[in-house]
Amino acid sequence: MSKTTINTLHKIKQNQEKFSVVTAYDATFAGLASTSGIDVLLVGDSLGMVLQGKDSTVPVTMEEMCYHTQAVKNGNQGSLLMVDMPFMSYATPEQAMANAAELMQAGAEILKLEGGAWLVDTVEMLSERGVPVCAHLGLTPQYVHKFGGYKVQGKEQAAAEQMLADAKAMEAAGADLILLECVPSELAKTLTESINIPVIGIGAGSDTTGQVLVCYDMLGMNSGHVPKFVKNFLIDGRNIQQAFAAFDQEVKSGDFPGPEHGFKA
């Protein structure tokens, strides 16, 4: 398969097509996903919850993110490799520069940061220095204690307008992608149409350019609460590789997510 790059994703956006994203934390899952058509692998700080059993992503360290980035890189077969910068690893632009260097040297090809317009200077500095950036807006899990839980964001008009402004500010600062988590589907549609860079959604309706799910969620390997935006693709006798391929195909055909996977304002 050909290598997926930032340019690949921008062409997909220009052509009004779709791309697929799943999380990966090790070489085995990276190999299975990347050879099944998945365009982007995300080494998420969600590993704190799904691998380590913690109750949030906040405790995840830079050392852990670098370790899992290296593992995923070793198994990846051509997908774009996106990596989360963990909690407080980019509180200042200077701190972001040093930690971004570590993650890129571990194998990251684009870094994801949570936050809005306050990140403009950091995004500008990273972009100028050759570090691609995905800006994560909406429900930003590192803010769970500030939000008072995992709640849909952007329901009120003022919050929706702020999110649109933040997305435009991130694009202007040089961000290459936006990720929207748990926002009303109509807001995600408006935002996707308002900027030129691709938008990845999770719980953000069907009108974003890309869709992402946590690999364990889409394989039905979650215990307890199953988020509304999740669909189990490991059904009907499929193996794991076929499940990844089915997710990829349903994203690209527009069959996933359906209306039942989204939120209203």
Interval 253-259 mean pLDDT: 97
Q: How confident is the model at residue 63 (pLDDT cuts 50, 70, 90)?
A: very high
Whether 43 has a pLDDT exceeding 90, the answer reads: yes
225 φ/ψ sector (left φ>0, alpha ψ -120 to 50, else beta): beta
Q: What is the pLDDT of residues 112-167, one digit of tens each?
A: 999 999 999 999 999 999 999 999 999 988 887 776 667 789 999 999 999 999 99
Residues that are catalytic: 181
Q: What integer pLDDT is reported at residue 141 of this predicted model?
A: 85
160 occurs within a structural domain: yes
Give yes or no for a contact between 44 and 51, defined as CB atoms under 8 angstroms apart: no
Q: What integer pLDDT is reported at residue 1 of this predicted model?
A: 64
Containing structural domain, residue 241? 6-261
218 φ/ψ sector (left φ>0, alpha ψ -120 to 50, else beta): alpha
185 occurs within a structural domain: yes
134 occurs within a structural domain: yes
Interval 165-173 mean pLDDT: 97
Q: What is the pTM of this model?
A: 0.96
Q: What is the CATH number of the domain that holds 143?
A: 3.20.20.60
Query: What is the number of other CB atoms lying within 10 angstroms of the CB of residue 190?
Result: 15
Q: What integer pLDDT is reported at residue 37 of this predicted model?
A: 97
CA atoms within 13 A on the CB side of 249: 8
**Alpha helices per DSSP H over 195-265:** 215-218, 240-253
Q: What integer pLDDT is reported at residue 116 of this predicted model?
A: 92
Q: What integer pLDDT is reported at residue 257 of this predicted model?
A: 98
Q: What integer pLDDT is reported at residue 149 of this predicted model?
A: 67
φ/ψ of residue 48, rounded to 5 = -60, -35
216 occurs within a structural domain: yes
Q: How confident is the model at residue 253 (pLDDT cuts 50, 70, 90)?
A: very high
1 occurs within a structural domain: no
Q: What integer pLDDT is reported at residue 3 of this predicted model?
A: 96
Q: What integer pLDDT is reported at residue 222 of this predicted model?
A: 81
Q: Where are the beta strands (DSSP E) in 11-55?
A: 19-23, 40-43
Q: How confident is the model at residue 256 (pLDDT cuts 50, 70, 90)?
A: very high
Q: What is the mean pLDDT of the chain?
A: 95
177 occurs within a structural domain: yes
Whether 22 has a pLDDT exceeding 80, the answer reads: yes
Q: What integer pLDDT is reported at residue 164 of this predicted model?
A: 97
Number of structural domains, the chain?
A: 1
Q: What is the pLDDT of residues 210-234, one digit of tens each?
A: 999 999 999 999 877 889 999 999 9
232 occurs within a structural domain: yes
Q: What integer pLDDT is reported at residue 148 of this predicted model?
A: 65
